Structure 1
């Protein structure tokens, strides 16, 4: 399982650079808080603010990232003020915490920016519970947060702004709907219900550390879109926490909060969070758990009993999330997956159409952005199908169908990439056979995406020429071969999708 983190593809070494930049940005933010004379608690708050800014802000452009980062204090400072003011009022504090949780999940409907602001608001409330912050600490905590965000932003947008050299992929929108039909609305209700269950059970376990159960609910719901996805995420969170607690008992407790070795290990955990997050939620949570243990060591409260309580609270949160997604407005894996697959199939057609227009000589046609969008969509499809292809899934027939769908969509993507590459050939020119083949692809896409559409019928051989004006037979035949493969994959895709 750990091998997956290190052997997973890292195009452009983005995960490596993201982890290294996070260590630099967060380290600089914490150092700045220390030089400014802030207390240890304020420095920890500043470091967490910098981590969240670097981790959660994922807009497609650098300008968008800068705007979202600038808006983080707008979401965080009022929540910080409310959380500290309600420190001595448990009932009001709990109600506001649940409201922030629900609003944070609901904010995902506004895309990456809403997601980032929701995460930052929730975690700001969470960290005040972690630090047991009181109203008298508010000015210092606000100053530390603003300073840390400024320093980490200087690293991200000034010292190491590597996104400027990348072409951002189109960000797909989540499946749409209105009212309770919208996934984000249903999940906001689910998360609030799960948070209430976790909060109550967590307080029965500990009146001091109950917030870990609510935090577990939050991070289980983040970046999930269906019942199966959340159940798998809960299992992975518990597994990552178990591993992190075991390592924390061996590493963090013997350190007794020693400054230098703790700082080095926290930096390693920060790198691990950013490096593992895109490929393994389990190992990301492992790094988070070890880091939390080290921070508790710095604060002088770490003990074996505290680590055991951390594990118990996480289990309570995972159980609350599981009950909520099964019993409260469930969002089925099938509904979510079906929406993403149909979106991907329509994008396949758009890619083929752009390539055909390019081959026909249209100066405005460019399949490259569509291909990038298709890659992003396939990532969402894989994420939504993850519960069905999980090794522990007992649904063998559905697992086989899900794997078949993924394989065929990968075939479609491969053919589309090849077609786009050929369309960029300056020798390519109009070939009427390509238009006919693209028309058949359009029919196949229509059959797959229309409600109750019929099955895809076999087409005549794509190599059978009609009138052709191609001056480069090799280019025309290559394009036809890719279209033929695309049409065949779409035809085979009808079988598992109909089932």
Structure 2
């Protein structure tokens, strides 16, 4: 697990840049809150707002990212007001919290902006429970949130806006549908059901820290789209929390809330959250759990019993999410995985077409944004296949098939990246055979994404003559990978693969 985090590819050092910039943005926000005289509770709320602004806003363009960031306080302020106003009315507070849970998940249907606003709304409600916020504190919290979002935005869009120099990667929306067939609709209902279970059981365990269970259920649903993904995420969340609590006992408890070392360790945790989020949910949750323990130390309420309760409440939340996805309008892993694979394959074709046009002399063609989008889509494919390739999965045939699909899609991505890099070279020559090769790639994608096209794959799989032209080498490699994908994608998921 440790090797996976530090050996995982980091093209353009994006994870390193994001983590470093986030530490600077959040650190600036908290420092400014302290300089203007905000209380510790307000500084924590502001730091959380800055973290969310940097972590959840993933729109395709810098302009859209700035617009979404500007909308965060407009969503967060009313939620803060409702949560604080209902502090002394448990039944109304619980109902409002579950409404925020369902609305936040449902908002994912509107893409990255809906996702970011939904997460921000939930976390603002969560923060009021964490800090026991009352209406009299709202003006200070509003000022801290607005100031912190402004500070983090100054770093993100002003001092260090590296996105302007990078290809745009459009974050993919969840698979569509209508009414109850829509993934976001089903997941919103599941999240409310799981949240209700977590809330009820969590309050039996603790009248003060019950919100941990609801938070565990909520974050299990974030960025998942199927039953299998949610179950795997539940397991990883619980594992990360257990390890984080163990570290908290060794690190956070002995500090007794000492300001300077706690601040340094919180900064390390923030870096860990952003650096590991894309490659390991377990490690990200470890960092989140340790950071929460350190913050409780600053508030003067941290002890081993509190950390033990954190583990129990997290387990309740994970169980609530698991029961919800198994029993309430389940979304099958196979259907979700197939949708993401098809989108990735269509993107392969689009990358190839752009590269070929660029090699043909078209200055308007640019494969780089498509390549970036392909990386994002392959990330979603890996996430959707995670339940099948998990070492504990009992479905051996499906596990072998899923691993083969991932390996071949990774091969496609390598060939596409190589083709794009050649196309970016102004000295690259155009070979007339590129047109025929691109047509074969198009035919291969059509055969893989259109029902009833499997018999045509034999023609696609025919070996191509050796090519000295580098672009043709990549195209032929791409053809071979697409041809080999026919077997695992077109045969029964439960049938054994040929040796």
Instruction: Specify if TM > 0.5.
Output: yes
- Alpha-carbon distance, 1:218 to partner: 0.9
Matches for 1:84-99 after TM superposition, within 5 Å:
84-99=84-99
Residue 459 (structure 2) aligns with: 458
- State the Cα deviation string for residues 129-182 of structure 1 (Å, max 9, x = none): 000111111111111111211222222222222222222223333322111111
Compared CA separation, residues 259 and 479, structure 1 to 2 (3 A)? closer
TM-score with structure 2 setting the length:
0.93
TM-score with structure 1 setting the length:
0.93
- Alpha-carbon distance, 1:251 to partner: 1.7
- Alpha-carbon distance, 1:120 to partner: 0.5
- Alpha-carbon distance, 1:196 to partner: 0.5
- State the Cα deviation string for residues 59-118 of structure 1 (Å, max 9, x = none): 232222211111000110000000000001101000010000111111111111111111
Residue 493 (structure 1) aligns with: 485
- Alpha-carbon distance, 1:313 to partner: 0.3
Tell me if the contact between 2:171 and 2:373 (Cα under 8 Å) persists in the aligned partners. Answer: yes
Residue 496 (structure 2) aligns with: none
Matches for 1:326-337 after TM superposition, within 5 Å:
326-337=326-337
User: Structure 2: where are the runs of 5+ without partners?
Assistant: 493-499
User: Structure 1: where are the runs of 5+ without partners?
Assistant: 465-472
Q: Distance in 2 between matches of 1:256 and 1:357?
A: 63
* Runs of 4 or more above 6 Å deviation: none
Tell me if the contact between 2:190 and 2:325 (Cα under 8 Å) persists in the aligned partners. Answer: yes
Q: Secondary structure at the match of 2:251?
A: helix
Tell me if the contact between 1:236 and 1:282 (Cα under 8 Å) persists in the aligned partners. Answer: yes
Q: Secondary structure at the match of 2:95?
A: helix
Q: Secondary structure at the match of 2:454?
A: coil
- Alpha-carbon distance, 1:335 to partner: 0.6
- State the Cα deviation string for residues 232-275 of structure 1 (Å, max 9, x = none): 11111111111111111122122221222221221221111112
Count, aligned residues: 488
Which shifted more, 96-105 or 20-29? Answer: 20-29
- State the Cα deviation string for residues 365-407 of structure 1 (Å, max 9, x = none): 4333322322222121112111111222221111110010011
Compared CA separation, residues 136 and 359, structure 1 to 2 (3 A)? closer
Which shifted more, 200-209 or 22-31? Answer: 22-31
Q: Distance in 2 between matches of 1:289 and 1:367?
A: 40
Residue 386 (structure 2) aligns with: 386
1:367 aligns with 2:359: no
1:413 aligns with 2:405: no
- State the Cα deviation string for residues 397-421 of structure 1 (Å, max 9, x = none): 1111001001111222223333334
Q: Secondary structure at the match of 1:96?
A: helix
Q: Distance in 2 between matches of 1:440 and 1:249?
A: 59
Q: Distance in 1 between matches of 2:354 and 2:164?
A: 26
- State the Cα deviation string for residues 319-340 of structure 1 (Å, max 9, x = none): 0000000111111111111011
Which shifted more, 160-169 or 88-97? Answer: 160-169
Which shifted more, 109-118 or 174-183? Answer: 174-183
Larger radius of gyration: 1
1:449 aligns with 2:411: no
- Alpha-carbon distance, 1:359 to partner: 4.2
Residue 56 (structure 2) aligns with: 56
Q: Distance in 2 between matches of 1:427 and 1:22?
A: 39
Q: Secondary structure at the match of 1:100?
A: helix
Which shifted more, 149-158 or 236-245? Answer: 149-158
